[in-house]
Amino acid sequence: MSERALRIGLPILVLALVIGLWDAVVRLNHIPPYVLPTPGLVFATLISDGALLMHSLWVTLLTTFEGFTLAAVGGIGLAILFSQSRLVEYSLYPYAVTLQVTPVVAIAPLLLIYLPQPLAVLACAWIVAFFPVLANTTLGLTSVDHNLIALFELYRASRWQLLWNLKLPAALPQMLAGLRIAGGLSLIGAVVAEIAAGSAGAGSGLAYRIAESGYRLNIPRMFAALLLLSLAGIAIYFALSALSHLALRRWHESAVRRER
Amino acid sequence: MNRHTSTIVSLRNVGKTFERGTVALRGFDFAVREGEFVSLLGPSGCGKSTALRIVAGLSAPSAGTVEWADAKHDAGRIGFVFQEPTLMPWADVAANVRLPLKLACAEEAQAGAAVAQALARVGLADFAGAFPRELSGGMQMRVSIARALVTGPQLLLMDEPFAALDEITRFKLNDELLSLWQMLKRTVIFVTHSVFESVYLSQRIVVMTPRPGAVFADIAIPAPYPRDEAFRTSAEYAGYCRLVSAALGKAMVGAAS
State pLDDT tens for residues B151-183: 989 899 999 999 888 999 999 999 999 999 999
Give tens-digit pLDDT for A152-206.
Answer: 999 999 999 999 999 999 999 999 999 999 999 999 988 888 888 765 555 688 9
* Chain B residues touching A148 at Cβ < 8 A: 86, 88
Answer for the pair B35, B201: CB distance below 8 angstroms, yes or no.
no
Give the pLDDT confidence score for residue A215 in this predicted structure: 87
Percent of chain A whose predicted confidence (pLDDT) is above 90: 61
Is residue A89 within 8 A of residue A147, CB to CB? The reply is no
pLDDT at position A230 is 93
- Partners of residue A170 in chain B, C-beta under 8 Å: 88, 90
Across residues B203-212, what is the average pLDDT?
91
- With a cut of 90, say whether residue A109 has pLDDT above it: no
Of the partner residues B53, B102, B133, the one whose CB lies closest to the CB of residue A251: B133
Topology of the domain comprising A44-248: MetI-like fold (1.10.3720)
* pLDDT at residue B106, as a whole number: 86
What DSSP state is assigned to residue B224? P
What are the residue boundaries of the structural domains of chain B, listed by start?
A: 7-70+156-256, 87-153
Indicate the fold that domain B7-70+156-256 takes in CATH: Rossmann fold (3.40.50)
Contact A170 B102 (CB under 8 A): no
Q: What is the pTM assigned to this prediction?
A: 0.84
Query: What pLDDT does residue B2 have?
Result: 45
Q: Is B86 on the interface with A (CB under 8 A)?
A: yes
Residues 6+ apart with CB under 8 A from B3: none
Angle subtended by helix axes A50-84 and A117-142, to nearest 10: 40
Of the candidates B44, B56, B50, B49, the residue with the CA atom closest to the CA atom of residue B16 = B50
| pLDDT over 60 (residue A18) | yes
Whether B9 contacts B55, CB under 8 Å: yes
Q: What is the ipTM of this complex?
A: 0.90
Q: Domains of chain A: which residue ranges?
A: 1-31, 44-248
**pLDDT band, residue A22 (cuts 50/70/90):** very high
Chain centre distance of CA A133: 11
Is the pLDDT score of B150 beyond 60? yes
Buried b (16+ CB within 10 A) or exposed e, A172-198: bbbbbbbbbbbbbbbbbbbbbbbbbbb
CB-closest option in B76, B82, B103 to A147: B82
* Residue A112 buriedness (CB in 10 A; 0-12 / 13-18 / 19+): buried
What per-residue confidence (pLDDT) applies to B44?
Answer: 81
Q: What share of chain A is helix, strand, coil (3-state, %, to 5)?
A: 80, 0, 20
Q: Is B89 on the interface with A (CB under 8 A)?
A: yes
**pLDDT at residue A153 in the model:** 92
Q: How far apart, in whole angstroms, are the C-alpha atoms of residue B149 and residue B154?
A: 9
Q: In Å, what is the CA distance from A206 to each residue of A67, A69, B151? A: 16, 20, 60
Whether A107 shows a pLDDT value over 90: the answer reads no
| Residues of A in Cβ contact (< 8 Å) with B99 | 151, 155, 165
Mean residue pLDDT of chain A comes to 90
Other CB atoms within 10 A of residue A39 CB: 16
Above 60 in pLDDT, residue B233?
Answer: yes
In angstroms, what separates the C-alpha of B161 from chain A's closest C-alpha? 13
The reply to whether residue A157 touches residue B103, judged by beta carbons under 8 angstroms, is yes
> By the 8 A CB rule, do A151 and A131 touch?
no
φ, ψ at B6 (rounded to 5°):
-75, 135
Of B43 and A27, the structure prediction assigns the larger pLDDT to A27
Q: For residue range B86-136, list pLDDT tens digits in order.
A: 999 999 999 999 999 999 888 888 999 999 999 999 999 999 999 999 999
Please report the pLDDT score of residue B43 as a whole number.
85
Q: Beta-carbon neighbour count of residue B13 at 10 Å?
A: 14
Q: Residue A257: its pLDDT value, please?
A: 67
